[in-house]
A and B are shown apart, each in its own frame.
Chain A
Amino acid sequence: MALERTKNFAAVERMGKEFAEDFRLLEDIGWSEYEARETYVLTMPEPELRKLLWRLRDEAAQVLIEHGDEAESRRRDAETNRRFQIGHQTCEKVSGNLDSPRRE
């Protein structure tokens, strides 16, 4: 862990908060990869949720860009890429809904 390796406490604090947000979101969307529900209710406060979705979107985009540089890597990690692509698009869509003034 970064804490033991570098003693970078600021980075560790940021990572800890991000993990806490991730875990909180998983409370809503379920922990299993094989969820059978059709719809999910996201119960996090809107500003927190928006921030989280933007972070996940940016992280997914970063992975997709990195992979885009290496065609061989992309072929090998096609499934991983597909997952990040879906994640990126979903975060974009959900955060777009949050930003919409017509949202109820």
Chain B
Amino acid sequence: MAQSAIKITRDQREAIYQAVRTHLVGLSDVFTLLERQDDVPGAERLARDFADDFRLLEDLGWHEDGSSGQVELTMPHPKLSALMKRIREETEGGFHDAIRERDSVAPVEGLVATMRACDAVLVYTDAKQVAA
């Protein structure tokens, strides 16, 4: 059955985009692990995460400015749900680190915005999965 796309606001898009961008900093870890060949399953797992990031960026747009209006997320809902949970979990880790290290307010606010944006998408994806 065809699924409907989930629409997010510009602010939600910005919050998720920044989290994806932060995650992409670790892309070289895939190549490091592949070169060493001592944790190939780890390399594979990481690469799948990055492949999900790339797919999400197809919807979010690759440019930091993005579009002016709403953004449609077109990934299959189970995959989108898993991705949002991963981003939320990573962001929550960063949030706790920021609180512990008494980081400035701005990054913490950004992290909270990301967690809320992920939650907003999850409400929709997970409700759909339960209904199905």
Q: Do A and B come from one complex?
A: yes
Residues of A within 8 A of B (CB): 1, 3-4, 7, 9-10, 12-13, 16-17, 19-20, 23-24, 26, 31-34
Chain B residue contacts of A23, Cβ below 8 A: 47-48, 50-51
Majority SS at the chain A contact face: helix
Number of residues from B at the complex interface, CB < 8 A: 20
- Is B27 within 8 A of A1, CB to CB? yes
List the A residue with the shortest CB-CB distance to B24: A1
Instruction: Answer whether residue B64 sits at the interface, using C-beta atoms and an 8 A cutoff.
Output: yes
Given known contacts A1-B25, A31-B40, A33-B37, A16 and B62 CB-to-CB distance under 8 angstroms:
yes
CB A8 to nearest CB in B, in angstroms, measures 10
A17 to B62, CA, bound (A): 11
Chain A residue contacts of B116, Cβ below 8 A: none
| From B24, B34, B50, B51, contact of A3 by CB (8 A) | B24
Residues of B within 8 A of A (CB): 21, 24-25, 27, 34, 37, 40-41, 43-44, 47-48, 50-51, 54-55, 57, 62-64
- Is B40 within 8 A of A26, CB to CB? no
- Is A31 within 8 A of B24, CB to CB? no
Chain B residue contacts of A1, Cβ below 8 A: 24-25, 27
30 contacts between A and B (CB under 8 A): A1-B24, A1-B25, A1-B27, A3-B24, A4-B25, A9-B62, A9-B63, A9-B64, A10-B62, A13-B57, A13-B62, A16-B57, A19-B27, A19-B50, A19-B51, A20-B51, A20-B54, A20-B55, A23-B48, A23-B50, A23-B51, A24-B51, A26-B44, A26-B47, A31-B34, A31-B41, A31-B43, A31-B44, A32-B37, A32-B40
